[in-house]
Structure 1
Amino acid sequence: MNQPLSSAASARFVPAKYLAALGPGFLFAGAAIGTSHVVQATRAGAEYGIGLLGFILLAILIKYPTFFFGPFYVSVTGKSLIEGYRQTFGKHVVALFALVQLPMLAIIIAAIAITTAGLAGTLLSLDLSAPAIATVLITGGCLLTYTGGYRMLDWVNKVFIVILTLTTLLATLAAWPMVDWSLYPATAASPLYSAATLVTLVAVLGLMPSDITLAILNSLWSEARNKTRGERCDTEAEKLDFDIGYIGAAILAACFVIMGAGVMHSQGITPADGAVGFASQVVGLYTSTLGEWSGVVVGISAFTVMLTTLLTVLDGFPRMMTAAYHAITRPDGIEEETRRVEGSHAYLVAMLGLSLLAILILFTLMGSFRLFMDFVMVSAFLLSPILAALNHFTANGTSVPLEQRPSRLINAWSLLAIATLVLLSLGYLYVRFIH
């Protein structure tokens, strides 16, 4: 049996331990800053000006503990949330989780890939169909993540994060003077207290800063970093790494709202349907309004955002399915998992299976793609309270020593997030199916 990782908690405090911890939080940001930002946040700005910005930032703030429980659990136990689910709730919960997630993951990969392909085609004037470009991107992303492992993914993601941050901030500054800074503009797509605004809020807030499954991916990346380094980061170092990624995702969400408000809402332009058409429309509007340079900047920003998301999910989703498979198939009574995730046969099968299913969707179901995406978004949102509750009770479960469990403040904060997600879900169901 492998020797357990040594804990860094007893190590002498030096800044180097914080630098060594950096990585999973950046991957969190790379995965979170995707369609939810480029499309959803920008569309919110285009339709409502900055009217929904406060709600978006409030939602990100409220959901903080739900996402933080991922790296927190690894810092205390050395294991991922998937293993935490097994120890807290049993194999059947892990199996049900994997079964529900599997089809959604393939659709999400297809959606991210087709949006990235559309931006690549616009930027490079490629004479290929969007599904063909998306297939090339998926294939290249799989090769990179499988052969390079966590180290390569971490390095590439950090480079892309720097590029997308700089270009997004520059594009935001360019749009800033055109923004109507009214708290809730009279020109908003619908009144604040209306069913239409509630549906929009649910669609935007449900995936801000991302789907809650990203907490699980974060825990898996933290586990991979620990195995690469040969020691476990303590909670303080994990928190700093996570906070950088989480705050960064929040700031860039605000940036994309401002971009939509400045370039589209100020001119009364109706957003195009579909992620690809909308993203291309934003690039074109920057070019026509502020000049060629701005179109290039926002194009690079949007493309880099989507490419980082594609790379992180191509690694994270198979990693999550492999961890779930290991948790389900490990015999009862054996607490330590000796099988590795990264580079394993199960990881390769999961990566190929999800990628091939995503490519199949791209070439056969594009006519109903918006319907599929609506299904995924609504499903992810309605599952959010359940996942938030699983994370809360896992972080406070028997696998975590009593003295190391979250503070009363974090737990109260987490319960507030769960209650908020439940109320929003019930409100959405009422408006869509009863009202």
Structure 2
Amino acid sequence: MNWEKIRKTLGPGILFASTAIGVSHLVQSTRAGANYGFALLIFIIAANVLKFPFFEFAARYASATGETLIDGYKKLGKFAIWLYFIITICSMFFVSAAVVLVTAGFMDNLFGLSELWSHFQLFPVALVFVVTVGLLLSGKFNFLDHLIKIIGTTLLVSTLVVFIMTLLKGPATHVPDFTPPAIFEETSLLFIIALMGWMPTALDMSTWVSLWAVEKMRSTNYHPSLKESLIDFNLGYWISAFLSVCFVTLGAYLIYGTGRSLPTGSVGFADSVIKLYTTTMGNWSYIIIGTAAFSIMFGTCIGLFDGYARTLERTTTLIFAKKSQHIKNSRTVYIWSLVLLALGSFSINAFFSGQFKTLIDLATTISFLIAPLVAIANFKLVSKTYIAKPFVPGKLMTFISYLGIVFLTGFAMFYIYVMFL
């Protein structure tokens, strides 16, 4: 393997991992372990395995065609590209609001901003919006992205250390009258669906893998082979998947059955997550872990806003531009997309003020309900009709894809049945 070529290829998969390790890991995986022990681990593993093909197909399609999945959706027909455009518009405000709320919680816990602006409860949330959009508009994202990856590595190493130390130490002692919660009751089942919605992240964000892959090709002037592209993607994906297991373990060993529970507010929740580390590593590590956790969430937040803005820019171009012509003011579309996203998401945060868990579960559930549509579209685009035969997935990947589509569709239909029928 030519390591110079690998160096030119690495990036999109790592960026995917840094974006995925956010709400799904720090919040949902920790809640799963704290409330249910290891009982929900099977659902987390199933979501990571059965959603894997549809994320991998994004890297595969970009390698095969040099285009993004969004371009592929247009080849499926106007209905497909319009449906994806509508899905993006309907989900992006809730998803962004949830990620910003978690980011603001870790920032407020680290800097104590709510105490300085007690008369404006949403000040930390507003600050995250302003700084995120400002950085993206100023073009300083590349520098910050490199910095976030360094600090994200700190969180990765810290999590692995704490994970191993926690396993060696063993689980905390359960209270005498502890009764495990029932899994197959409505409340638990709805949480399971929300948990899988962003495990490892929302499936409609698979297009971002292809967007970043194509951008990497342009910036390096190098088109990687399929093998090189998949090495990059698999590295990022399975690191993210493994870390979700680590966070479940921390919640299960340190909180489950002890009589303690995770706070319902974003700031208190952030403090509890950080204390999962300090319980094992010592209080000296609080500032390090607090900074790393906030930084990885802030990186997730910036990647999310950039991804949605690029998605709107690309879909707008494909839908409204004339044939063989690009929208000349695409930068303007990008800017207005950021502004629209910030205003809409902040409104969602204001409406759900004080309802941390409700907003998180709603956003993740929306992502899970639209996942089957994205899965079917991605699977169709890697057939021989749209890419060359050497790039078509093998029998095992095809089999897992069918299982994944059945899995996602079945749970989505179950949720609709429970909630509306």
Deviation at 1:263, TM superposition (A): 2.0
Candidates 221, 226, 231, aligned match of 2:212: 221
SS of the residue corresponding to residue 369 of structure 2 reads helix
Q: Which AA in structure 2 matches 1:44?
A: A
Larger mean Cα displacement after TM superposition, 130-139 or 36-45: 130-139
Larger mean Cα displacement after TM superposition, 242-251 or 132-141: 132-141
Where in structure 2 are the equivalents of 1:66-85 lying within 5 Å?
Answer: 66-85=54-73
Distance 1:265 1:65 in 2: 33
Deviation at 1:290, TM superposition (A): 6.4
Where in structure 2 are the equivalents of 1:335-346 lying within 5 Å?
Answer: 338=326, 344-346=331-333
Distance 1:155 1:167 in 2: 19
Q: Quick check: 1:251 aligned with 2:242?
A: yes
User: Is contact 1:167-1:300 (8 Å) kept?
Assistant: no
Distance 2:142 2:227 in 1: 22
Candidates 360, 365, 378, aligned match of 1:378: 365
1:142 paired residue number: 133
Distance 2:328 2:181 in 1: 51
- The number of residues matched between the two structures is 414
Consecutive unaligned residues of structure 2, counting only runs of 5 or more, are none
Candidates 25, 28, 48, aligned match of 1:60: 48
* CA 402–261 in structure 1, closer or farther in 2 if over 3 Å, else same: same
* CA 172–24 in structure 1, closer or farther in 2 if over 3 Å, else same: same
User: Is contact 2:20-2:200 (8 Å) kept?
Assistant: yes
Q: Quick check: 1:32 aligned with 2:20?
A: yes
1:100 paired residue number: 87
Once the two structures are superposed, residues 286-317 of structure 1 have per-residue CA deviations (whole angstroms, 9 ceiling, x without a partner) of 55786423544543343233112111102111
Deviation at 1:428, TM superposition (A): 2.7
Q: Which AA in structure 2 matches 1:147?
A: S
CA RMSD between the two structures: 2.8
User: Is contact 1:121-1:130 (8 Å) kept?
Assistant: no
1:212 paired residue number: 203
User: Is contact 2:204-2:374 (8 Å) kept?
Assistant: yes
Q: Which AA in structure 2 matches 1:114?
A: L
Deviation at 1:153, TM superposition (A): 5.8
Larger mean Cα displacement after TM superposition, 346-355 or 284-293: 284-293
Q: Quick check: 1:110 aligned with 2:101?
A: no
Distance 2:109 2:252 in 1: 22
Consecutive unaligned residues of structure 1, counting only runs of 5 or more, are 1-12
2:262 paired residue number: 271
SS of the residue corresponding to residue 366 of structure 1 reads coil
Distance 2:63 2:203 in 1: 19
Larger mean Cα displacement after TM superposition, 77-86 or 256-265: 256-265
Distance 1:230 1:289 in 2: 46
TM superposition score normalised by structure 2 = 0.89
1:9 paired residue number: none
Q: Which AA in structure 2 matches 1:74?
A: A
Deviation at 1:200, TM superposition (A): 2.8
Q: Which AA in structure 2 matches 1:262?
A: Y
Q: Which AA in structure 1 matches 2:29?
A: A
Q: Quick check: 1:420 aligned with 2:407?
A: yes
Distance 1:315 1:323 in 2: 12
SS of the residue corresponding to residue 416 of structure 1 reads helix
SS of the residue corresponding to residue 122 of structure 2 reads helix
Q: Which AA in structure 1 matches 2:268?
A: G
User: Is contact 2:194-2:365 (8 Å) kept?
Assistant: yes
Deviation at 1:149, TM superposition (A): 6.8
Once the two structures are superposed, residues 119-139 of structure 1 have per-residue CA deviations (whole angstroms, 9 ceiling, x without a partner) of 112122332356222222222
SS of the residue corresponding to residue 67 of structure 1 reads helix
SS of the residue corresponding to residue 377 of structure 1 reads helix
TM superposition score normalised by structure 1 = 0.86
2:163 paired residue number: 172
User: Is contact 1:74-1:80 (8 Å) kept?
Assistant: yes
* CA 102–91 in structure 1, closer or farther in 2 if over 3 Å, else same: same
